[in-house]
Structure 1
Amino acid sequence: MKKLLITGASGFLGWHLCQLAKQEWEIYGTYLFHSLEIPDITMLKADLTNFQELQDIFNDVKPTAVIHTAAHSQPNFCQTHPEESHAINVTASCNIAGLCADNSIPCAFTSTDLVFDGLNAPYRESDSVCPVNFYGEQKAIAEAGMLERYPMTAVCRMPLMFGAATPTAKSFIQPFIQTLKAEKELNLFIDEFRTPVSGTTAAEGLLLALEKVNGIIHLGGKERISRYDFGQILVEVFQLSAIGLKSCRQQDVKMAAARPADVSLDSSKAFALGYQPLSLRKQLQELINSQ
């Protein structure tokens, strides 16, 4: 079987990717702190910021393809820990592209919709990046660095993602559901817009991109929606109490990292390749059905 190396397999997206990809690939997943066992997958503890360790993995595993999801992906953490986050988000990413180039194997990288400033949505692949926080900036630098080292890289700009909690990671909906069930107040932005998809849908997009894309691709969903409106759909589908659901604006919440207002993605290029996210209602319904 073909061997797929998935970095960050203990993360939310990495875990969902492992579940889907193991049907067709022999999977090797890396983790740093969150040790876990995933059936039928070889898990490897590795510090990807250590080039020697990274090189050893490539030499030992001899992957036929790589999907690099490992990252510090919390914008507030990146803002307050710029050097630590730069090491994994930029340096390790460029090194992975270099090793994939040396071995002439497909490489997919998970970037973010936060490479944009939120003033000119919806964003196409050809639009100029203009990040407003360190996380977006690091991903933008990594995109350019990886494509320079290895133009065959599939740079996948990911939207906001939701889905079932994994053994070592949650998505943003778990605390939402918990708060609403407790009938506590949940304040959600009415002025921040994204094009969200489920972790499973995102994983489908990544596997498609690995096979069909060189260069940049957007893997957003088909609906542009505010966090507050997403919360309303969540309440309906999961049949939760809406008592605590309240609207607020970005300026009402103090955060370390600035947040762009609208980074909804135009993903028509991916749709034309066969990436077909279901409606948000259907994706949320699938979550209930899979529990």
Structure 2
Amino acid sequence: MKRLLITGISGFLGLHICQLSKGEWTVYGTCFSNLINSPGINTIKVDLTNFPELKQLFQDIKPDAVIHTAAQSNPNFCQIHPQETEVINVIASGNIAGLCADYGIPCVFTSTDLVFNGLNPPYRETDPVSPISYYGEQKVRAENIMLTRYPRTAICRMPLMFGQATPTATSFIQPFIDILQAGGELKLFVDEFRTPVSGTTAAKGLLLALDKIQGYLHLGGKERISRYEFGRLLVDVLQLPKAGLNSCRQTEVKMAAPRPSDVSLDSSKAFALGYNPPSLPEELEVLRGRL
């Protein structure tokens, strides 16, 4: 089988891609601080910010394709530590694209819906970027550098993602579930909108992009929903205690990174290629069966 290199498999999305692809590919996954031991995955500890190590990784594996998910993806952390996170989010991404160009292999990069400012949704691939956080700015720079070094790169802008926790990572819903089950209060925004998908659905979209895309692709879901409405849906489908679920507005919560109000993605281009996210109730029903 061909060799697929996936960076950042200790992250939520990375391991989902591994699980989905290991039947069709010989999978190699990189970790740095949190090591993964999973059947069918060849795990390699590597510092992606160290270019000699990165170059040696490519020489050793000789991958036939790369999906680059490794990043510091916490916007608040990036806002507070811009120089520290620049190295992995921007510089390492450019180096990976350069190496993929040297090997002439498909390269998929996971960007974010946070490259937009939230004022003119839904966003298509052709819409101008306008990030309002440092994390969003880093992803825009990474997109530009990667496409400059290797125009065949697929830049996949990812939405909010949820799903079953992995051994080393959770999605945004795990704290929600824990708080409600413990009888705590959970406040969610009524004025922040996204187009979420499960980690499994997102992984399917990225594998689709390996074969079919050069340039930009949006991999959002089919439903635009607020954080609060998603929370209500989560409570209903997973049969969680609902007494603690309350609404709030973005202005009521102080955070380091500014948050756009609506970065809903128009993913018509991906849908036309065969990307077919299930409805959110269907996605959550699948999750309920695994909890």
TM-score tier (shorter): over 0.9
Q: Distance in 1 between matches of 2:27 and 2:63?
A: 9
Indicate yes or no: 2:249 matched with 1:249: yes
CA contact (8 A) 2:111 2:158 kept: yes
Q: Which amino acid aligns with 2:28?
A: Y
Residue 84 (structure 1) shift: 1.2
CA contact (8 A) 2:159 2:194 kept: yes
Contact 2:6 2:27 (8 Å CA) reproduced:
yes
Equivalent residues in 2 for 1:51-90 (5 A)? 51-90=51-90
Task: Give the alignment of 1:139-288 within 5 angstroms.
Answer: 139-288=139-288
Structure 2 CA distance for aligned equivalents of residues 135 and 267 of structure 1: 22
Aligned partner of residue 266 in structure 2, secondary structure = coil
- Give TM-score scaled by structure 2 length: 0.99
| Cα distance between partner residues in 2 of 1:206 and 1:290 | 23
Identity of aligned residues (%): 68
Query: Over residues 45-69 of structure 1, what are the superposed CA-to-partner deviations in whole Å (9 max), with x where a residue is unaligned?
Result: 0110000000000000000000000
Q: 2:68–2:110: 8 Å Cα contact kept in structure 1?
A: yes
- The CA distance in 2 between the partners of 1:210 and 1:78, in whole Å, is 28
Aligned to 1:121: 121
Cα offset, 1:278, TM superposition: 0.2
Shift of 1:101: 0.4
Q: Distance in 2 between matches of 1:159 and 1:75?
A: 14
| CA deviation vs aligned residue, 1:93-112 (integer Å, no higher than 9, x gap) | 00000000010000000000
What stretches of structure 2 of length at least 5 have no aligned partner?
A: none
Do 2:161 and 2:197's aligned partners in 1 also have CA atoms closer than 8 Å?
yes
**TM-score computed with the length of structure 1 as normaliser:** 0.99
Structure 1 position 289 matched with structure 2 position 289:
yes
Q: CA RMSD in A?
A: 0.6
Q: In structure 2, what is the equivalent of residue 98 of structure 1?
A: 98
**CA distance in structure 1 between the aligned counterparts of 2:176 and 2:204, rounded to whole angstroms:** 25
User: How far off is 1:36 after superposition?
Assistant: 1.7
- Matches of 1:79 and 1:73 in 2, distance apart? 11
Aligned to 2:8: 8
> How many residues are aligned here?
291
User: CA–CA distance in 2 between the matches of 1:152 and 1:36?
Assistant: 30
Match for 1:123: what amino acid? Y
Work out the CA distance in 1 between the residues paired with 2:286 and 2:84. Answer: 37
Instruction: Give distance in 2, aligned partners of 1:112 and 1:30.
Output: 21
Contact 2:22 2:41 survives alignment (8 Å): yes
| d(CA) in 2 for partners of 1:244, 1:224 | 24
